Structure formats: structure tokens, C-alpha cells
Amino acid sequence: MRIIRNAEEGRRTILARAPLDADALPLDMRETTFRAFGAELEPDEAVRRILRDVREDGDNAVRYYNERLDGARVEGLRVTGDELRAARDAVEPEVIEALTFAADRIRAYHERQLRGAFVDFQMDGLGQITRPIQRAGVYAPGSAAPLPSTVLMCAIPARVAGVEEVFVAGPVLPDGSVPPVKLVAAELAGVDGVFKMGGAQAVAAFAWGTETVPRVDKVCGPGNLFVTLAKKQVFGETGIDAVYGPTETMIVADESADAELVAADLLAQAEHDRLASPILLTPSHRLAERVAAAVARQLRGLERARIAAEAIGTRGGCVLVNDIDHAIELANEYAPEHLCLVVENPTAWVMKVRNAGGVFLGEGSPEAVGDYTAGPSHTMPTGGSARWSSPLGVRDFLKTMSLVNVPPEEVEELAAAARVIARAEGLGGHAASVERRLRGR
């Protein structure tokens, strides 16, 4: 793990967030794209073609891209009741118990969040009415690493918000099946259906609907670059929660931190994706050296060591800072998805944090627990978007409608001013509309 000696060098390197372009794509993704299209397309263009084909050819296009991009031949796109029932028997009881425990905590947290989400009111003829969206599509990535936690973290807030229909989609295994543990999670989350489709084709099917897949009001959940680009391209015709990039964890640590735990936490994020950003900020050169040694040592025992090593080597590392205040300043500039404060008295530093998706306090609150069982959704803003956005929650599935019911005694005053503004804007029809009210009084 590289150690960067000062903040300015850190800003030029790992804190600069290198853009994700075609050259940055892993070789296997570039090869898959070439096989599917017969040419080396830019990711944007590949996604554009997928969206066009699904919009025009529905289920057939989804099945085609499932096979060409994911290597999975699928006939029926919707998971059947028999498959859902069989999944329960295929998953070990202790896994089901753990998922149930997580689901209960996630549901309880978001029920508390719901109570403060939006406040309906009516006063002096004006008001606000809150309604849930009617139909949500959740993209849950992963097949070999199936990520049932993402199903829980995205679908449960939708259910708590009161969404009438919640559907899940994600990539399938080569035999055309959905990993049973993901189906169990979907059942625990109370979803209305699961679809066998991954990548941009899943986003397209949710955005426009097909013969089998219902059109949704909003597409939610994280995914790879192609899923992210697809969400950007369909936005405006359907809603999206956010544009998520590769995962990020920034750890702010002082001399009191346990180097082995810090290294383990960095690697926990690094193993997600070659493009992940596991970053340590510390004023302690001694801690930095110990963490670097621990990372090298712990890598040898990881199942996904090659992925983690690439992430650590290309987008991760340590930046030495002047003190913890300096570290928080850099963290606020970077606005990480996850910010872990592994320092003495971490609660004393929380008020200085302005930009982060989630803040994890102390060694007893590792980000990995947040990924599974803490309660808040682990779907959080990335790429610096924590400067203006929030983690996925019940608000993402609610919308407000303004209510206007002008009291009769106020019509004349409001209409008179409205007429003047309308004339100033050159909108005679608007002016005439309010003038008729004035003449009628």
C-alpha cells in the first residue's frame, strides 16, 4: 500500500478521483463488450444500443443481452413460485436467520425514518400532500457474489414508504437461475416479483416495460458502470435514486487505532471491486507503516485477493496529514461514501463532518457491519455526490404534491398581483385568466 507524504500530493493522486473511461475498464469487461457488439465501443455507446434494443424488442432483447453479456441463457424472465420455494430449502438455516435479523433491523430503522420524512400540512389555503410512488424497480447486482444484503437495503425502505409494487432484478448464473440466497432476501423484503436480467438491459426493461417486466416509476440500487450509465440515460423518462460509482471507504485514524483492524476495514472495501477506493488519512507515520504491512499480510488470506490488491494499488493508499482536523478537512473535500473515524473520542469529531454518505464511529462500528446489519441502507452516495445527496431511504420512494385552495377573501389580492406579473412576462392568457376572477367579484 502506497503512503503519500503530504496532502497536496494526495489531492493530485488518490484524492483526485480518476475518471472512469473505457481504458479504465477491466480487461474482462472490454472483452465482453467486444463479443456482444463485434467492436470496441465506448461504454456510453454500448449502453445506448442496449437501451434502444430493449425498448424496441422487449423480452427478446433482454434475453439476448443476458446471454451475450452475462453468459446466461434464460427463457422465462420472471422467477416462478416454485423457484422461490426451492430457494428456502437451498439456503442454510443460519444464513436465513442472519438475513431475517438484518431485515428486522433495516425495517425498524426505516420505520423511524418514515416518521420524519415529510410533514403534510394545510394552512391558509396552502398545503403539502405526501404520497409514495406506485411502483419501484430495485437493481441488485451480483451473481457469483450474490449480495442479498442489497436486496434488503433497497427493497425494505420502499416497502416501509408504502410503495404498492416492488420488483427486483439482477444478473443470473450461467444456468439461468438466480442465486437462492438472493431469492430468500427478496422474500424477506416482501417484494412482488424477481426478474432474471442484469446490467443495462434490466434498467431498460424497468424504465419502459416489456411483455413480462412492468414499467416502474423509479429504478433504484447500485450496479457496475453499465448499470450506472443506463440509469443516467433513462432518467427523465423514469426516476432514478442516484448515480452510484465504485465503492469508497475513507478511514481517519490516529495513533490509538489498531493497525490490523484498519487494514481489515480497508480490505473489506477493496475486495468489492477493482475500481474501489480504500483510503487512509492519518497524522501518524508509524500507524501508516503498520497498516501497510498489515494489508500486505492480510491480503494473502483473502478469497478475492487479486481484486483487493488491484484496488489498493490503483485507487487506494494512505495520505499523511498534519492532524485530525486536517484529515476531516480533506474528508469533507473528498465527500466519501463511507467515512470511518477510528480516533480517540470519535463522537467529538462528528460535528465537523459535512460530507459523507455514512459516518462510522470507532473500532466497534466497522463499515462492514453497516453493509449488513446496522440498519441504515448501505446504498450511499459515491463519487463526491455526498456533497449534495443522501443515502437511499424512505424519502426516495415518497413525493409531495403542493395543494392550493385559495380562501375567497384572498382571491382579489392574489389575482391582482398575478395579473401584473403576467402582463410583465407578456403572457396575456395568464393575465386574462386572473382578470376574469377579478371581474366576477
Pairing of the two strands 338-342 and 248-253:
parallel
How far apart (Å, rounded) are the C-alpha atoms in residues 202 and 230?
9
The answer to whether the beta carbons of residues 83 and 177 sit under 8 Å apart is yes
Per annotation, catalytic residue among 187, 248, 271, 337: 337
Render 360-422 in DSSP notation, one character per residue: EESTTS-HHHHHHTSSS-S----TTGGGT---S-GGGGEEEEEEE---GGGHHHHHHHHHHHH
Q: Is 338 a catalytic residue?
A: yes
CB of 276 closer than 8 Å to CB of 248: yes
216: exposed, middle or buried (Cβ count in 10 Å: 0-12, 13-18, 19+): buried
Contacts of 302 (CB under 8 A, 6+ apart): 267, 271, 308
* 430 classed as catalytic: no
Spatial separation of the C-alpha atoms in residues 298 and 296, rounded to whole Å: 6
SS3 12: helix
Give residue 413's region: left, alpha or beta (phi > 0; psi -120 to 50).
alpha
Of 110, 187, 272, 338, which one is the catalytic site residue?
338
Q: Give 41's contacts (C-beta < 8 A, 6+ positions apart).
A: 33, 49
Please name the amino acid found at residue 151.
V
Give catalytic residue positions: 337-338
